[in-house]
Amino acid sequence: MQVRLPAPLLLLLASLWRGAPGASELRYPPGKIAVIGAGIGGTSAAYFLRQKFGKDVQIDVFEKGTVGGRLATINVEGKNYEAGGSIIRPLNLHMKHFVKVLGLSGPENRNGLLGIYNGDEFVFEESSWYIINILKLLWHYGFSPLRMNMWVEDIMDKFMRIYRYQSHDYSFSSIEGLLHALGGNDFIQLLNRTINETMQKAGFSQKFIYEVVAPAMRVNYGQGANINGFVGAVSMATADSGLWSVKGGNKLVCNGLLYASKAQLLSGTVLSIEEKTRPKRTGGTVKLYEVSYNSASGSTTDMYDIVLIATPLNRNMSNITFRNFNPPLAQFSDHYHQTVATFVHGRINTSSFGYKDPSHFYLASIFTTENPKLFINSLGVVSPVQNTHEEVRQPMGPAVWKVFSKEPLTKEQMNLLFSSYDSVKEKKWLAYPHYSLPNKCPPIILHDRIYYLNGIEWAASAMEMSAIAAKNAALLSYHHWYGNIDMIDQEDLNEKLKTEL
């Protein structure tokens, strides 16, 4: 006699059958997940992992330095200033969400007037009169600034699709796949062309690229118009208005996410990861990852079902060894660009910038064009993190200036830049990728259940990008674990989700 299975059961069986090979053995929830790095990438990964995997899984976050990583503050004369990642853009929706759920506040940054210096003179000086700025821009660059806004907006419209995909739980197994799902081949092409070439092809003038685009890249990435078109475009989005940062310091988001995720913070340096086979209580074997780390109490190891790596894989930054993998894991050594942030409390030497009479000088932010004789990328007056609505900024009086340069400033250079100063603090960063073409983004999946977040920095390095990579890795690890292959690398998501609404 033939037994008819009820339809819901058939559906259930079908969905089990569709699962990835070996998926059914993974249908119990994972016991332990390791996240390496407590920057914005690692802490937001812990947050999203908790959302997906539920309250029972143990999440351990390893940190060898301070929670926040490249989000850090520095103390100058009793007040704290952002020393690393500082600016958040209005359309950075994950950062916005974190600040909201964590009960933090993110006031808008008010920047003083901007000048662009080419080593001999200012090629552009902002005025406090809106209409004068418009006329100046038109006079210098024609309609390029306006066109640029539209050009960037078009790219951002596509980029913003990521939030819809992620809110529907879709994930991607490669950076290229993620970008392709957002903007098709155009986005992939942006990765392999400089912003210079990309904007030339789009009809922007050399003058505009040299005097406006390159200086913005130098502030954001310490590199000029030869960085890739994708990072170039997203970092120009709303270059002027609505920029904000977190009151008290951006790193508070990391502390908050860690707390909200109920993850355990393990202060220590991860040295190696090794795959181990262990017998299961129920018979058979299970593969786990053994994480070895050094902490104040000595060397320890711990076993994990899933590992997320949320730090650049680079000997100088994380120095993690993958042991006994067969075949061995590709060891890549991504080269990161050094940027030095120097904080100076003092008076700017206006004659260094061609101003004989300091009383005529009113700029609070100086960008630079590419010129080998310039030893700085930018300098600007900064406000403390406690008080982003600083009183009126007085660039002529003593103020705290933040200088970005490739190398530490020498005493002679300091004396050129400042007519007087009383305190100096310096922070040297391996800050972001050293972008060069051709650009190959590192993989997200390093091994069955080892995921790498920071490859996304090769498309673009920013807090929001780390948060996007974190949510993607949390979703991807979840879907792999439960065999939801229909939630990974879906084509035509944009069309699919349109009709779903």
Ligand X SMILES: *[C@@H]1O[C@H](CO)[C@@H](O)[C@H](O)[C@H]1NC(C)=O
Ligand Y SMILES: Cc1cc2nc3c(=O)[nH]c(=O)nc-3n(C[C@H](O)[C@H](O)[C@H](O)COP(=O)(O)OP(=O)(O)OC[C@H]3O[C@@H](n4cnc5c(N)ncnc54)[C@H](O)[C@@H]3O)c2cc1C
Q: Which one of ligand Y, ligand X, none is in contact with 439 (Cβ closer than 5 to 8 A by kind)? A: ligand X
CA-nearest of 248, 245, 196 to 225 is 196
- Bridge-based pairing of strands 298-304 and 365-368 is unpaired
Span of 233-241, 255-263, 374-382, 434-442 interacting with ligand X by CB under 6 A: 434-442
Which residue in the set 57, 93, 188, 424 belongs to the binding site for ligand X (CB under 6 A)? 188
288 binds ligand X (CB under 6 A): no
Q: In angstroms, what is the minimal distance from the CB of 226 to ligand X?
A: 6
Question: Is the Cβ of residue 43 or residue 223 nearer to ligand X in the bound state?
Answer: 223
Q: In angstroms, what is the minimal distance from the CB of 191 to ligand Y?
A: 17
305 binds ligand Y (CB under 6 A): no
CA dist list (Å): 159 to 18, 89, 229, 426: 31, 13, 13, 35
Residue with tokens 């076993």: 303
Q: In angstroms, what is the minimal distance from the CB of 403 to ligand X?
A: 15
Q: Which one of ligand Y, ligand X, none is in contact with 69 (Cβ closer than 5 to 8 A by kind)? A: ligand Y
Q: In angstroms, what is the minimal distance from the CB of 274 to ligand X?
A: 13
Span of 144-152, 209-217, 313-321, 371-379 interacting with ligand Y by CB under 6 A: 313-321
Q: Are 446 and 480 a contacting pair, CB within 8 Å?
A: no
Which residue in the set 335, 389, 428, 498 belongs to the binding site for ligand X (CB under 6 A)? 335
Which residue in the set 173, 174, 413, 419 belongs to the binding site for ligand X (CB under 6 A)? 419
320 binds ligand Y (CB under 6 A): yes
- Cα–Cα distance, 336 to 448 (Å, whole number): 27
Q: Are 228 and 190 a contacting pair, CB within 8 Å?
A: yes
Question: Is the Cβ of residue 123 or residue 467 nearer to ligand Y in the bound state?
Answer: 467
294 binds ligand X (CB under 6 A): no
Size of the site for ligand Y (CB under 6 A): 36
Span of 8-16, 36-44, 54-62, 436-444 interacting with ligand X by CB under 6 A: 436-444
Which residue in the set 30, 85, 145, 395 belongs to the binding site for ligand Y (CB under 6 A)? 85
445 binds ligand X (CB under 6 A): no
Span of 102-110, 206-214, 293-301, 468-476 interacting with ligand X by CB under 6 A: 206-214
Beta bridge partners of 197: none
CA dist list (Å): 146 to 133, 134, 138, 143: 13, 10, 9, 5
38 binds ligand Y (CB under 6 A): yes
Amino acid at 244: W
Q: Are 195 and 189 a contacting pair, CB within 8 Å?
A: no
Which residue in the set 207, 440, 496, 498 belongs to the binding site for ligand X (CB under 6 A)? 440
Work out the burial of residue 494: count CB atoms within 10 Å of its CB; fewer than 13 is exposed, 13-18 middle, 19 or more buried.
middle
Q: In angstroms, what is the minimal distance from the CB of 439 to ligand X?
A: 6
Question: Is the Cβ of residue 37 or residue 229 nearer to ligand Y in the bound state?
Answer: 37
Question: Is the Cβ of residue 80 or residue 226 nearer to ligand X in the bound state?
Answer: 226
307 binds ligand Y (CB under 6 A): no
256 binds ligand Y (CB under 6 A): no
Amino acid at 330: A
Cα-Cα-Cα-Cα dihedral of 429, 435, 439, 442, to 10°?
A: 0
- Cα–Cα distance, 194 to 140 (Å, whole number): 23
- Cα–Cα distance, 254 to 40 (Å, whole number): 5
In the range 153-172, which residues lie near ligand Y by CB under 6 A?
none
Mask 246-275, x = binds ligand X (CB under 6 A)? -------------------------x----
Which residue in the set 73, 144, 439, 454 belongs to the binding site for ligand X (CB under 6 A)? 439
Q: Which two tokens stand for residue 110?
A: 């008010």
Work out the burial of residue 88: count CB atoms within 10 Å of its CB; fewer than 13 is exposed, 13-18 middle, 19 or more buried.
buried
Mask 87-126, x = binds ligand Y (CB under 6 A)? x---------------------------------------
Task: State phi, psi for 79 to the nearest 5 degrees.
Answer: -120, 150
Q: Which one of ligand Y, ligand X, none is in contact with 61 (Cβ closer than 5 to 8 A by kind)? A: none
Q: Which two tokens stand for residue 216?
A: 């913005």
- Cα–Cα distance, 30 to 334 (Å, whole number): 31
Sequence-distant contacts of 11-20: CB under 8 A, at least 24 apart: 16/483, 18/483, 18/485, 18/486, 19/482, 19/483, 19/484, 19/485, 20/480, 20/483, 20/485
Which residue in the set 231, 308, 366, 431 belongs to the binding site for ligand Y (CB under 6 A)? 431
Task: State phi, psi for 69 to the nearest 5 degrees.
Answer: 60, -115
Cα 475 versus chain centre, distance: 18
Where on the chain is the footprint of ligand Y (CB under 6 A)? 36-42, 62-65, 69-71, 84-87, 269-270, 310-311, 317-318, 320, 339, 341, 429, 431-432, 454, 461-464, 466
Task: State the residues that interact with ligand X by CB under 6 A.
Answer: 176, 188, 191-192, 196, 209-210, 214, 224-226, 271, 314-316, 319, 321, 333, 335-336, 349, 351-352, 370, 415-416, 419, 438-440
